[in-house]
A and B are shown apart, each in its own frame.
Chain A
Amino acid sequence: MSILVYTENREGIFKKATFELLSYAKEMAKTLNTNVVALSIGQVENSELEKLGNYGATKVLNTQGNNLSFLDNKLFSKIVTTAVEKEGAQIIIMANNISGKALSPRVSASLKAGLVTGVVGLPSSYEPFVIKKLVFTSKAFSNVKVNSALKVLTFAQNSFGVAEPINAVAHVETFNPQINDVPVKNRLIETNRITGKLLLTDAEIVVSGGRGLKSAENFSLLEELAGVLGAATACSRPVSDEGWRPHSEHVGQTGKIIAPVLYIACGISGAIQHVGGISSSKFIVAINNDKDAPIFEIADYGIVGDFKTVLPEMIAAIKEIKAG
């Protein structure tokens, strides 16, 4: 028995979210007295793969190949299920992100393994296996019991934290499953990467703007605040609908669901569909000129005022702190 973790790389590099995923799996493995095996698909240097040992992976299965440069659901899930069988894994863990959501259901159906997506902590019990997840667009939690012997979980980022790295080198093993019989029916035409920007999914701090900012131009103030804080930028739905900001920044029920340490909402009213995407943030700071705006009901700190005066003052005060 073991726990298999699908460790996704971005252009050959593992991100913090992957280390958290492994830390989480390691904690579960301790209780179950078993090992964590990582599965990496695509081109990654050995030295980078070995690093996964620092976060609890004892072994890394390394699958590389020409047709693995973009995510093909069928092919990748076949690799995962083959690895599960090879390792005799009972629990399969992935990130609750784009690729985890793409692969976990296929893996689950293929193995008849009960799937719980977006889990927010360790199981409350192992026998029976019960684990908590967010439901009803983050308005409630459900404790889900998994009846099957094999289990697939997708883990909600930032709900566990990265463990202190240990000094251990994971054993890297080449893994070439038989996948020639899986016909690839997708052809990659073009990739557009967001460059030179901190991604929402990597950020500890997120500064977000709503319709209250009034225009695309006014977002330069928010960009500046993000700059001094080392934060990523986000927005409410109407802002991306208006084209003031790219769709990739839209958070909420119909956009991204995020859980940064600090979320700063500026000119956002706090509609229930928006809150659904940010309510798991550790701290929320709201800036709004309406003292009764619903966003203050879920905020830890608030400033009642016009963003035009508040943001420049905030930027100046933070600069002062950062300058020591």
Chain B
Amino acid sequence: MKILVCISDVPDTTTKIKFKDNNTTLDVNGIQWIINPWDELALTRALELKEASGGIIQSVTVANVGTVASEPTIRKALAVGADNAIRIDAQPKDAYYVAAQLANIVKAESYDIVLVGRDSADYNGSAVGGMLAELIDYNSLSSVSSLNIENGKIRINREIDGGTETIEAELPFLAIVQKGISKEPRIPAMRGIMMARTKPLNVVQAVAVEILTEDVSFEMPQPKGSCKKFDSENVKTLVSLLHNEAKLI
């Protein structure tokens, strides 16, 4: 069995976001790039499954659609423990573009399990996973918060509106994962970092794909007015303000 984990390369979550060229482009100056947090957890879970599988899961591959600039992030995924990596050499244009590139990879290698994150911390599309599943015609489940393999079947928990469900699914299968899929992301150990240098990172060419959506400009939210602060003696005043002035309670 083979697992594919799709990883996107995103600004560190604490990054201050700035735009340039008249608010049409992200200013990447000074940004620290990381593996998208969900993808890091997905990779961790994939490695746990592989280790527990007694050889049934042969490999964990990571795939990224990105330029050479995302290679440090891919190397990090290899250092964490992925066996090999594929980089589809292109600047991601939109979710459909990315999904179409990934679809080619899956069609060529027929992975049994494909793991994708809930959303990436850049454009927050929540889109690549579902699109990929459709393009490769895989069964998919979203909001997946745990994943196990039992007798060749997948057993997952997922969040639903107002609760959770346990579902058994057949392979091949694509999971869109979120919180809970693994507890803590694995961090690369020294040995992993050394080994990552020699692991295969295949660079493949992108295919031509129609661009369905484009970010034409960016805006920052309106700055908040200053906070009206009260001390603990004046809780009552605040509450009546919320009632009379803001009409909130």
- Whether B219 and A143, one on each chain, are in contact in the complex, defined by CB atoms closer than 8 angstroms, is yes
Closest 4 CB pairs of A and B: A105-B130, A305-B232, A114-B212, A102-B142
CB-contact partner of A135 in B15, B122, B227, B248, under 8 A: B122
Complex: chain B residue closest to A248, CB-CB: B159
**CB proximity of B8 to chain A, nearest CB, Å:** 13
Q: A147-B212, A254-B37, A262-B249 are in contact. Are A104 and B229 (CB under 8 A)?
A: no
Assess the B124–A106 pair: CB atoms within 8 A.
no
Least CB separation from A228: chain B residue: B249
30 A-B residue pairs with Cβ-Cβ distance under 8 Å, sorted by A, are A10-B161, A73-B130, A74-B133, A96-B126, A98-B161, A101-B126, A102-B143, A105-B99, A109-B135, A114-B96, A115-B127, A135-B123, A136-B124, A139-B17, A139-B221, A141-B221, A142-B218, A146-B213, A147-B212, A148-B212, A192-B165, A229-B249, A247-B180, A276-B13, A291-B229, A301-B227, A303-B232, A303-B234, A305-B232, A321-B239
Closest to A95 in B: B161
Residues of B that sit less than 8 Å from A by CB: 11, 13-15, 17, 19, 37, 94-96, 99, 118, 121-135, 139-143, 145, 155, 159-170, 173, 176, 178-180, 210-221, 224-225, 227-232, 234-236, 238-243, 246, 248-249
Contact B227 A142 (CB under 8 A): no
Contact of B248 among A188, A201, A205, A255 (CB under 8 A): A205
**Number of A-B residue pairs having CB atoms within 8 Å of each other in the complex:** 278
How many A residues touch the partner, as a band? Answer: 35 or more
- For the complex, is A20 an interface residue (Cβ under 8 Å from B)? no
Q: Contacts A117-B125, A147-B214, A306-B232 known; A74 to B161 CB distance under 8 Å?
A: no
Cα separation A138 to B239 with both chains bound (whole Å): 29
Given contacts A136-B122, A247-B179, contact A105 B134 (CB under 8 A): yes
Residue from A133, A146, A313 with most neighbouring chain B CB atoms (10 Å): A313
Interface assignment of A199: CB less than 8 Å from any CB of chain B: yes
Q: A279 near B: Cβ within 8 Å?
A: yes
